[in-house]
Every structure is written in C-alpha cells, then in structure tokens.
Amino acid sequence: MLNIKNEVLIRVYLLAAVVLFVAIVITGRLYQLSVVQAPKWESKADSLFLKFVDVYADRGNILATDGSLMATSLPFFDVYFDAKAEGLTDNVFEENLDSLSWMLSTYIDQQYTPGAYRNWLVQLRQADPGTRGIRYVPIARNLPYSKMLLLKNFPLFRLGRYKGGLIVEQTSKRERPFKMLAQRTIGYVREGALPVGLEGSFDNVLGGSLGKQLMLRVPGDVYIPVNDLAEIEPRSGDDIVTTLDINIQDVAENALLEACKKHEADHGCAIVMEVKTGAIRAIANIGRAQEGWWETYNYAVGERVEPGSMFKLASFMAMLEDGHLDDFDLKIPVYKGKVRFYEEDLVDAVPHGLDSMSIRQVFAQSSNVGTATMVQQFYGDTRTAAAFVEHLRDFRLDRPTEIEIGGEEAPVVKDPHDPKSEWSGTTLPWMSIGYELLLTPLQLLTFYNAVANDGRMMKPYLVERIEHYGETVKEFRPVTLRRSIASRSTIKKAKELLKEVVETGTAHNIRTDLFSMAGKTGTAQLNYHKFRAQAGIRYQAGFCGFFPADNPVYSCIVVISEPKRGGYHGAEAAAPVFREIADKCFALKAALHPPVNAGPRPVLATAHLPSIHAGQGEDLKASLQWLDLDWHTQRKMPEWAVLKARNDSLLVLPRIISDKTVPSVVGMGLKDAIYLLENRGCRVRAKGVGKVVRQSLAPGTRANGRTTIVLYLE
C-alpha cells in the first residue's frame, strides 16, 4: 500500500515538473517575442497590416488689418494611378487606354507622345504584382484645383478610385500674395529649422489639429490611402488678423529699399507704430543677399546695437526729471567741439568751432560734447551715476518689449554697482550720447512712442485678433506698460526739443509746411572702441520721431547700417526715409489732416474771392450756392452776369450783350464765349485753356460772317 502511494506521488511530481518546464519555456519564448524580437515583428506587422498616418489640417491665413491676405495656403494635388485596382477589369482598361493616353499627352506632359503613354500604361498593367510602384504610380504633381478637376474627367479616371485606379492626394503650399512685403515678420515654419515670425509664434493657432487616415502598404514599400476621406478629419487652423497696414507697409519697404540702394548700405529697417495703441502698422527689413535685396533677418526686433545720438533724448529727460535744465536758452561751454574725459577725447560729429551753445542748440545740433559735459557734471560720481541709470530704468530702456514674434534681444544697460558691467570713468559720458549700451530699434521706438503719447508707454503688438471662419475667437487689446515714464513737464519739454531738431537742427532738411514733425537724428560708429582708434570705421544712420508733432498719430524709426555713399549721417541717410514715410502716410490717412471746419470761419478778403468771372446768370447762381458763398445783386438775376469782389462781399452785376456787335466775353469760359460770338456771325479761334482773359476785337465792333476773333485763355 505504501509503495503504491509513493509511486503516485512520484508521478505527480514528474507531471508537475513537466508542466513547470513547459511554462518556463513558454514564458521565455513570450519574453523573446515581446521584448527581444519586438522591433522585428512590429516591422513585419507594419508591412502586412493597415496603419493610420497623420493628416495635416488646412493652415490658417495671416491677414492685414484691412483683411488683405498676407499669407495663405493654396491647395495643390498629387495624382497617382493604381494599375491593379480591384474593380479595374481588362475590358475597361482596353476600352479607355487610347483616349486616356491622348489626354495625358495633351494636357499633362506634352514631352511624351500618346503612344509612349500607351506603352507605359500597358507595362504597368501587365507587370508582376511584386514590381515596385505598379499600384501607386505618380501621374502628376502639384496640380492646381482646376487642372485636377480636368484630370478627374479623363477616360478611365472618371470611373473613380476602385474601377478607374485614380488616387488623388491633396497637399498645400504656403503663398504670400504680396511676395517680399513683411516677409520676415510673417515668417515661416520649416522642418529642421527654427520657427520664425508670426508663422512660428502662432504655429499652434494656424496649424489646427491633425487628422488620421488609414493607409495600406503595397509592394514597393509604399502606402496608399484606403479611402479618399480621412477616418478622423483634421480641424483647420484659425486665421490671425495682424495690425499691419498694407499701404503703410508698402510705403516703408519701398522708401527703405531705395535708401539702401542709394547709400549702398549693408542693411536697414523701419518701423511705424500707432502712438495711442502701440499697434505696429509697418515693420520693414532690407538686407543684402546673393539674389539681391531681400528680408534676410528681422533687424528691427533682433539686432541689438549702440543707438548713438538718438539716445540723447533719454539723457536730457533724466536731467529734466532732476530739475537740472530749467532754461533751454542757458549757454553752456562746448569747447569748440572737443573735450577730454580720463585721457580719452570726445568730439562732436560735425566741426563747428563754437565755444558755447544754448541747451536748446546742444540738443538740436546734436552736440556730443555739450551733452556729455552736462551729464558728467550732474551725475559724475558713483551715487549720482546710479540715479542716472535709475531714470533709464524708469523709461523701461532696460527691458525687452516682449513683442509676439520671437528673436528679440534683451537690452544691455550698464550698472555702476554691478562689477560685471565693467563700469569705468568714461562709461557715463559715452553712455549719455548712446554708446556703451545696446538697444534694438523696436525698444528705442517704444520709448519715443511713449514721449509722443504724453508719457504713457504702450506695448508694441502685431496681432489684433484670432478668427475662425470669420468669427472672432480671441481679441488682443492695447496694453499699457507704464502709465507715465516721466512727469508732464518733462514730456512737454522733451517734445519741444524734438520739434526743434526738425525746425532748426540737424533734421531741418526734412521740414515741411504741410504738417509738423518731431524727432532726433543719430549717427553711431559701429566698430567704435574708445581705447584705440580703428581704421575703416563703419557707421549706422538713424532717425526716430513722430508726426504730426502737435497731435501725434504715428511714431517711426529708420535705421540704415553701413551706408557707403551719399552721406552716412542720420540726417542724410535715415531722416529722408522718415520724411517719405510721413509724407505718404499724410496723403493716405485722413486722420492726419486737421478738419477744415475745426477753427473759426475766416473772413474772406477781396484777393481771395472769385472776381471777373462771367457767364450765364443761372449758372453763376448755381455755382455760388453750391460753394455756399454769399452774394448780392441789385435786381433779379440777369441773363448774363459778371462777378465783382468788393471788400468781403461778392456782387453779381449784369453784363450788357448787344445783338449786332461783338460782346465782351472776358471772364467767361470757352463754351459761353463761343455761343455768344458765333450767334453774332463771328468765327472764333482760341489759344490756351481756362477762362478768357483777352479778345482780339474790342467790344462794340460790328460783326459779320467774315469776322474772325481770337480768344486768349488762361
């Protein structure tokens, strides 16, 4: 009995050992398949089964503030032929082969004859199923929509995907209708490159959401879509409406381009900002490229340089805030345009030979010596130098603007208490005239815009709203960075100084009687080093200001780097570009024009009233009523009348017209004069245009059919 029991236990143990061994083998094999050999089998599965691939959405548009398209995606189509489509029979293929070959040769690629196309299609149809490409053969690429519709109606292809073997895949290309206009600001998104501009900053908004489409692998390691429609439809991207004004952008780019060509500059930029809101209405960048002038880089946002004399506004405002400049007519020494600070000479850009200038002249004539001397006098020690730098921080000149597009460089402003700043005895005087600190053009313009806006600093912005199919999704409002960067009196005096630059100073060459402008010229040495002289100095010309000066609507900065011909100073290279932009903005924008009826109605003097105008009485009456001019007559309106100005009144007097003699037609238009003279038998010759100022026959001369009278018009 015991032996039987032991035998049973042995068998049980053996069976358990076999089960355990099998379990271990199975577990090991599963581990090998699922972990060790997983990539191999996944790859094989991909080659045998269907898979989902991403379907990109239609990218949103970028629009100007008036709705003009600045960037959009245009649909293009790639067409393929599946010679082994399930429903494509030999009979259907043979019936349509010749006509399809002729259509492809005629409308798709004329370098191939219909016979060549026929032989090619037959080869595709008869090829071994394992031959590469027979199920997914490209017929045409990048077809526009109209041509794709034409191709879909070709013989055989019109039967569709399963019976005719036609496969159509839509792609899209990003197009800019205005080509180079604001190209760098609009930017791009490219595989393998950093995103740039609005396209890059708003990629998530413009790109929408991906869809999914089921794809089948066919011989040749090619995937073809199972259905024409995506299994999961992508959501199209939203549109962004920018603050850019197409007209101002065009004006800024053309003016900047012409200046860069004229002065053979390396590159340049121009920005136009709306004073009250901070909206960027134009941002132009021009640089040299192998193919010519192009927007190769956004210098306006990303190039950080020493601003030169344009920075003097900040120096003067710091002194005004501390009460150091009470009287602009006070004379200060300028040492004939040359002064020494700690063994280093500082000179004025333009020799003048003067011993002294008024504070107003120092700013208007951009005297480096006068500016640096005053700043050194008031802020020469470490404690007061720190106060000067603190004013610059109050003006937010030490902070970036945080505009929506990427690439903005942070400003560099030295601090006397920071050992890393390398502050020295010459830092303050050189900083006061725009050296030993770094700013981008946009950062400097934001500061000037705040002065134009009575001290309120606005954040510059490029996008007004986001839309989806015309409906507003999100709106961006103007943002105030600082309610006031300085006191009202300082802002008022700063504006006065900026106006003086255009009226009598370095920018007097751009002055116009049509409207007022205010601003500051700047000429900086790019490779300047205060400790050693360098040969071949390169310059940067700039002008920053606003217009109209009394009620600013736009602020603008123009910077031209390395001008080589036709002058390199700010007044010569940059200020004329500012003037051209201002002129054309003034012509384009009614908001810049003061209303005609804003002031009291002027009293008209005799010299300003129409006089010696003659013609039919009713015509004169209608004209005077339309012009809203008061007039007087002694009796009812005569048939023929003449206007006579007397003091501030207009008299309508009768003109006597005889039936038998030559009448006086002086003051009449040619139509009335010919009517009267020809009805009295005269032949008329006219010279000039305008109204009659002289006639060859005196009034009262008897007229007949042979009489010729010459009328002189002006």
CATH number at residue 102: 3.90.1310.10
pTM of structure: 0.73
Judge if 364 and 307 occupy the same domain: yes
| Within-domain flag for 350 | no
State residue 216's pLDDT score: 63
Judge if 181 and 108 occupy the same domain: yes
| Within-domain flag for 115 | yes
Judge if 579 and 611 occupy the same domain: no
Total domains present in the chain: 3
Q: How far apart are CA 548 and CA 514, in angstroms?
A: 10
State residue 225's pLDDT score: 67
Judge if 182 and 59 occupy the same domain: yes
Judge if 652 and 695 occupy the same domain: yes
State residue 49's pLDDT score: 56
Judge if 495 and 540 occupy the same domain: yes
- Tell me which of 218, 242, 266 is where a domain ends: 242
Task: Please report which residue ranges of 365-487 form alpha helices under DSSP H.
Answer: 368-379, 382-394, 427-432, 441-452
CB-based contacts of 393, cutoff 8 Å, min separation 6: 413
Spatial contact of 443 and 302, defined as CB atoms under 8 Å apart:
no
Q: The tokens of 58 are what? A: 């239609």
| Within-domain flag for 425 | yes
| Within-domain flag for 493 | yes
State residue 604's pLDDT score: 54
| Within-domain flag for 40 | no
Which residues of the chain fall below pLDDT 70?
A: 1-6, 40-56, 128-134, 210-233, 527-536, 596-612, 634, 646-648, 705
State residue 528's pLDDT score: 61
Judge if 418 and 543 occupy the same domain: yes
Judge if 235 and 259 occupy the same domain: no
CA distances in angstroms from 150 to 98, 154, 424, 706, listed in the order given: 17, 7, 75, 74
| Within-domain flag for 6 | no
Q: How far apart are CA 147 and CA 165, in angstroms?
A: 18
Judge if 160 and 262 occupy the same domain: no
Domain that holds residue 517: 249-327+360-460+484-592
Judge if 96 and 229 occupy the same domain: yes
CB-based contacts of 659, cutoff 8 Å, min separation 6: 680
State residue 303's pLDDT score: 92
How would you class 176 by CB atoms within 10 Å of its CB: exposed for 0-12, middle for 13-18, buried for 19 or more? middle
| Within-domain flag for 79 | yes
State residue 132's pLDDT score: 42
Spatial contact of 533 and 550, defined as CB atoms under 8 Å apart:
no
Residues in the chain: 714
CA distances in angstroms from 353 to 266, 356, 369, 658, listed in the order given: 33, 9, 12, 77
- Tell me which of 592, 623, 638 is where a domain ends: 592
Judge if 635 and 569 occupy the same domain: no
Task: Encode burial over 459-495: b for 16+ CB neighbours within 10 A, e otherwise.
Answer: bbbbbbbbbbeeeeeeebeeeebeebbbeeebbebbb
- Tell me which of 212, 242, 272 is where a domain ends: 242
Radius of gyration, alpha carbons of the chain: 41
Spatial contact of 263 and 86, defined as CB atoms under 8 Å apart:
no
- Residue-wise pLDDT for 663-673, tens only, equals 888 888 888 88
> In this structure, what CATH number is given to the domain that contains residue 404?
3.40.710.10
| Within-domain flag for 476 | no
Judge if 61 and 152 occupy the same domain: yes
- Residue-wise pLDDT for 300-315, tens only, equals 999 999 999 999 999 9
- Alpha carbon of residue 120 to chain centroid: 50
